[in-house]
Chains A and B, each alone.
Chain A
Amino acid sequence: MKNTIKIFLGILAIGFVSCEAEFDNRVDEDGFYTSGTANLSNYVAVGNSLTAGYADGALYITGQNNSYPNIMAQQFAKAGGGEFTQPLMADNTGGLLLSGTQVAANRLVLAVDDQGNPGPVTLEGTPTTEITTSATGPFNNMGVPGAKSFHLVAPGYGNVAGVSSGASNPYYARFATSDNATVIADAASLSPTFFSLWIGNNDILGYATSGGAGVDQTGNLDPSTYGSSDITDPNVFASAYSAQVDALTATSTGGVLINIPDVTSIPYFTTVPVQAIPLDAATAGVVNAQFGLYNTQVLPGLVGAGVISSDEAAARQINFVAGVNYPTIMDDDLTDLSVILQGPPFNLDPITAGLLGQLRQANDNDLVVLPASSVLGTTPDPSNPLGVVGVSIPLEDRYVLTAVEQGRVSTAAASYNATIQALASAHDLVFLDARAALARVASTGVPYDAGMLTSTYVTGGAFSLDGVHPTPRGYAYTANLIIEAINGKYDATIPKVNIGNYGTVTATNN
């Protein structure tokens, strides 16, 4: 009997010890993954909407949970990383209230219309995130949607009082530590041991998405005079960026500087084809007849008078054909002829002169922005079926980013990126070439376990419904790139994520 008891006790003891099915090498045990020479215990991410996890034209909780810094922080946690806090919004509706009045739109969702066609629509509902109800900052994620480089060092950028006038930022106003705080000082106050900085996108993006409606401020060193759609002077950028790197490296043992992608490869600029106006032969003939004198008399006359060059005259020729045509557009980089055309020998009425003042037909070097899809080819005045946008009504300047305007954007971006790369090198930080990475997505696509991540609008998987900001999958791809770069630089073994596990656009009918 005694032996029997011994046997049973022995069996039970062994049973309990072996209760869990333990791996020889557990991935969730300390030391399986290592952060190498980087100290990830206090990671702080600084940047704009991309860092915040903005998507579908709004900031909302699930988007924030899938921000690249949060995805990275979850993986950092497997290699000794610490807690990562974010200024989470109050809901998944998106949108913001300022003292009860909505000041930012709800998120976009993919809805199917009566004809069965899917397309982006704004989610219905009232947002519950109130700007005046402060979240207690600072947070590890200091991404502020809308912020340009110089905003991060601007005192008062988070002052609620300035939100309605546009002097300050509604997102930062939620969690700025004081009315006079700066984003970068709030971030530095967390004494980060590791940081990432991705800023400068908005310094060119506002200009680009507005179809170049803003001003290239290169040469103007006073950012307080800039409009929201202007291009930031590269020296202003360099000075602000350098100050941010200094502030963040004061306590950090390492960090990542991320450069500015080519904004013209995002779906916002690549989805609407520039050649988009279908006309039959008869209609094309009628339209061309109207521009006959203009093409053959007016333009050569202006060249003869020395008002425009012969190259510009050639670019301004209007010629429709049977088939799919390039739309007529307003191009503010053309010589403004509206006054001259009212004088002799042309003597055109002010309306016609205004119409022709900066008119040309688009060409393959122009980019038509996503919102143009809802106006191009429409007849805004139902009583005038001949008033077609892109034919008799030129597409407004804000809908087209011309080659000249693209040149300004890429010149500024190249300058910013040179600064970023030089500072990364000077401070011995990781330089992440997001520009090359996005170019890869846009050109060949990036393979993942069940397909290809591309920049195609809605179906490509990389970009959310606003055509500018990534999807969770796009952010996960970004996080993987950064993790890979960190592993290389700091001899770390932080695991990457499977981007196939991250979603893309959200389908919902209102």
Chain B
Amino acid sequence: MGLTYQSTGQLTTREMFDAKSDNCDYIIALAGNPNTGKSTVFNALTGLRQHTGNWPGKTVQRAEGNYIYKSHRYRLIDLPGTYSLLSNSADEEVARDFICFARPDATIVVLDATCLERNLNLALQVMEITNKVVVCVNLIDEARRKKIQVDAAKLSERLGVPVVSTAARSNEGLPRLIELVSDVASKRVCPKPQPVSYSKDLEEAIARLEPRVRDVIGKDINPRWLTLRLLDGDTRLLQAIENHLNAGRTAPVVHGRRRDYSNGA
């Protein structure tokens, strides 16, 4: 591929992980559409123990904060709010690359209960990259006012990942969210996302290519997801993946705890 490293223009995993991963036990990503109350969830979980850039990064900047649950330290990384992970905008690439390359111990996807269908689009995309997902159906207080009911148990069954309803502004459901995140991060619970089923042509193409992808890449990156990206011909992403694969061989992509992990723990 003719793209240079520079031209992918994105933060490298290492840069993104300058988050001093040494003094925390788990790294948790927080994804979601814009306007889902994601920042409220973030603020409610981390309180004032957070680093933001020069601006309270509503959409543009990285924010991170810590919380402690049952004597484990969790670092929460607030990803940019996006509708999708497919369009290659800067925000979407940051979010996608973080989930894909930094491999957080769990990813919380915040959904707006009043607009579930649109929000599920992002959740399904995240679940194609990683299985370690906890879905947080937020703004259920708004939904109640609008007389909208969301059946969280059924949603969890359909998606194959833990689901919790929350109203972050009044702290409702957040203790349960923290518990579910801890279950997934510590591998006590291993979510099995239901794959999206595509059109017949596409599924056939996936079936042909996926075994080859498995052979070449191993389990480092979800093979079905990578197969889809190959069929899509998303060269910018593929370049980023190539960089990631090769960076991982010459230098530890992530410092500290992560290195031990990849050395066979």
Q: Decide whether A and B are members of one complex.
A: no
Residues of B that sit less than 8 Å from A by CB: none
